[in-house]
């Protein structure tokens, strides 16, 4: 997308993304959809991704141009420094020391461009005993105490996909840090390093459970508390058709409405928060919910504040009337994905699509010109084999 077409709140912002997997590509996608111009830097002879998605489904590449550079050649490193001169932000997700070995670390890049915001995304952080170890969402989540808290009381900890450490504790904290550093730069004129670690972010997401634990209001045992399926009024239940509904009526007024519609004995309403009554309450709720199908229960609860919802599959969710009315999901040929979020009143984000093959026929001069590289130099670098689109 050309610069003149970008209308989002980050229009005019130039971001360099060092190619990788996980939190950094999602951050680049979100920044791009907010209007930033993102240039993805990949190695000249990059290994294929183990996911190997077709281009139309590969959101790690949507919404940005890709430039492959020989980062083993001095000329390639020199080009990176020149690109950084024209950039506002650089984000990378390598293990500590990798960028330094390439002479592309914060010290070198901030010397090139003192206003650069240098975003670093790792699992364990830039220092500490585990800093250089490999890991994934589940690895980092396991060390925060949060994985221990997710799952049924008598079962094992359950992986919450890769939503908590990778994307919640990683992507979102990286974006927040980068935007905060950009705001500070608007006053000081100076860039800085943003050290975003998934283990740190996931731990911060656990602020409420840790506060409740300290106050004596949380048991350090899975499936025994208000928010971890311990409370019968905050859990999922099977229905007559083998599907499920989610019950989340935490507050007394919502639980009373739920109990009236189920119906549930008044004595449960009067003693909602008495854990001694919870086993019996759970059995009563389960028995009632098993008597109807998921969608029959939704007909009963849809227009109420009982906080009951059908547990939809990934194929069903985009077709739910609320999601359709709000445009929560986008249908792009065979790809169905969440629409850009959050929403802005004056400068709306725009959904990012795959690179246009027609526009890739000679992409290098315009791509590099946006970052201050002359067209003649770009063409010379391409002819030398040091770069490619």
Domain boundaries, the chain: 3-205+335-388, 234-326
- Spatial distance between the Cα atoms of 224 and 155, rounded to a whole number of angstroms: 12
- Return the CATH class of domain 234-326: alpha beta
What pLDDT is stored for residue 1 in this prediction? 47
Question: 3-state DSSP call for residue 54?
Answer: coil
- Spatial distance between the Cα atoms of 118 and 105, rounded to a whole number of angstroms: 9
Strand order in the sheet with 234-238: 234-238, 244-248, 308-310
**Do 63 and 90 touch, CB atoms closer than 8 A?**
no
Q: Give the mean model confidence (pLDDT) for residues 43-47.
A: 81
From the number of C-beta atoms within 10 Å of its C-beta (0-12, 13-18, 19+), residue 103 rates as middle
Beta strand spans in 169-238 (E)? 192-197, 234-238
**Active-site amino acid positions:** 136, 166
Q: State both tokens at 325.
A: 């009315």
Q: Give residue-wise pLDDT tens across range 156-172.
A: 999 999 999 999 999 99
- Give which of 73, 91, 97 is closest to 25, Cα–Cα: 91
β-bridge partners, 16: 39, 90
* DSSP per-residue letters across 15-46: EEEE--STHHHHHHHHHHHTT-EEEEEEETTP
**Do 122 and 131 touch, CB atoms closer than 8 A?**
yes
What pLDDT is stored for residue 7 in this prediction? 83
- Residue entry with tokens 């001095």: 74
CATH 3.40.50.10540 fits 3-205+335-388, yes or no: yes
Q: Give residue-wise pLDDT tens across range 307-337.
A: 999 999 999 999 999 999 999 999 988 899 9
Q: How far is CA 200 from CA 17, 27, 141, 327, in A?
A: 22, 17, 10, 33
Q: Give the mean model confidence (pLDDT) for residues 53-59.
A: 86
* DSSP per-residue letters across 59-109: TTSTTSEEEEE-TTSHHHHHHHHHHHHT-SEEEE-PPTTHHHHTT-SHHHH
**Do 32 and 63 touch, CB atoms closer than 8 A?**
yes
pLDDT band at 361 (very low <50, low <70, confident <90, very high): low
What's this model's pTM, rounded to 2 decimal places? 0.94
**Do 63 and 352 touch, CB atoms closer than 8 A?**
yes
pLDDT band at 56 (very low <50, low <70, confident <90, very high): confident
The answer to whether residue 360 scores a pLDDT higher than 70 is: no
β-bridge partners, 338: 329
Element (H, E) at 142: helix 137-142
What pLDDT is stored for residue 389 in this prediction? 78
Comparing 31 with 45, the larger pLDDT belongs to 31
Question: 3-state DSSP call for residue 336?
Answer: strand
């Amino acid at each position: 997308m050309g610069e003149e077409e970008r209308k989002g709140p980050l229009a005019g912002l130039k971001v360099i993304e060092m190619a990788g997997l996980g939190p950094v590509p999602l951050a680049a996608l979100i920044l791009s959809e907010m209007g930033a111009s993102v240039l993805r830097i990949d190695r000249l002879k990059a290994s294929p991704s183990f996911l190997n998605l077709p281009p139309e489904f590969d959101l790690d590449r949507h919404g940005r141009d890709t430039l492959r550079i020989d980062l083993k050649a001095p000329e390639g490193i020199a080009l990176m420094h020149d690109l950084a001169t024209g950039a506002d932000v650089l984000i990378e997700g390598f293990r500590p020391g990798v960028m330094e070995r390439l002479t592309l670390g914060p010290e070198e890049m901030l010397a090139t461009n003192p206003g650069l915001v240098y975003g670093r995304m790792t699992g364990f952080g830039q220092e500490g005993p585990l800093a250089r170890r490999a890991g994934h969402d589940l690895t980092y989540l396991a060390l925060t105490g949060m994985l221990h808290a997710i799952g049924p009381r008598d079962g094992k900890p359950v992986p919450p996909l890769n939503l908590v450490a990778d994307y919640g504790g990683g992507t979102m904290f990286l974006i927040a840090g980068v935007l905060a550093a950009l705001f500070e730069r608007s006053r000081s004129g100076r860039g800085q390093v943003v050290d975003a670690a998934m283990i740190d972010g996931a731990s911060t997401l656990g602020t409420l459970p840790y506060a409740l634990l300290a106050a004596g209001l949380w048991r350090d045992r899975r499936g025994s508390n208000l928010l971890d399926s311990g409370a019968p009024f905050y859990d999922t239940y099977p229905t007559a058709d083998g599907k499920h509904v989610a019950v989340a009526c935490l507050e007394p007024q919502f639980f009373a409405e739920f109990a009236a519609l189920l119906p549930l004995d008044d004595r449960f309403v009067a003693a909602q928060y008495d854990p001694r009554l919870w086993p019996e309450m759970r059995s009563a709720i389960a028995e009632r919910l098993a008597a109807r199908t998921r969608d029959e229960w939704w007909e009963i609860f849809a227009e109420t504040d009982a906080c009951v919802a059908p547990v939809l599959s990934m194929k069903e969710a985009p077709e739910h009337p609320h999601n359709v009315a709000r445009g929560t999901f986008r249908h792009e040929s065979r790809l169905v994905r969440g629409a850009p979020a959050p929403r802005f009143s004056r400068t709306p984000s725009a959904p990012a699509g795959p690179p246009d093959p027609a526009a890739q026929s000679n992409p290098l001069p315009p791509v590099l010109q946006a970052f201050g590289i002359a067209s003649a130099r770009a063409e010379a670098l391409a002819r030398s084999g040091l770069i490619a689109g």
